[in-house]
Amino acid sequence: QVQVVESGGGLVQPGGSLRLSCAASGTIRSALRMAWYRQVAGKQREVVAEIISRSNINYAESVKGRFTISGDIAKNTVSLQMNSLKPEDTAFYYCRIVSLVYAVWGQGTQVTVSS
């Protein structure tokens, strides 16, 4: 059984930075896709950034130039560096890791951007 644990959320002022980290444990396989999602109460969960295979990286338009995703698909670890944070980035952030044999979500971590 594979589990995913996230860390790094918290409260930050507008313009500040946070780094989210995510790691899978258990019988892991090389990931096909690793992604960060976010969700605000009453809205659908949306993709923030993703790594597909080894080199295909995509970002939501709203975070391009401010967020950077990085990770190791063999180790099933993925991070999200968030800079120049805005109040509208406030959300619950989730990590998702997909391989040929599993697709798992992390428990989520709250990011609050407020002065």
63-96 residue pLDDT tens: 999 999 999 999 999 999 999 999 999 999 999 9
Alpha helices in 5-111 (DSSP H): none
Phi and psi at residue 86, to the nearest 5°: -120, 155
What per-residue confidence (pLDDT) applies to 66?
98
Backbone φ and ψ for 17, nearest 5 degrees, come out as -130, 150
pLDDT value for 55: 79
Q: State percent of the chain over pLDDT 90.
A: 96
Matching residue, tokens 């995913």: 4
Mean of pLDDT values over 23-30: 92
**Which of 80, 112, 113, 95 is CA-nearest to residue 45?**
95
Cβ count near 73 (within 10 Å): 19
8 A C-beta contact, residue 1 and residue 102: no
Count how many Cα atoms sit within 13 Å of the Cα of residue 92 in the half-sphere of its side chain: 11
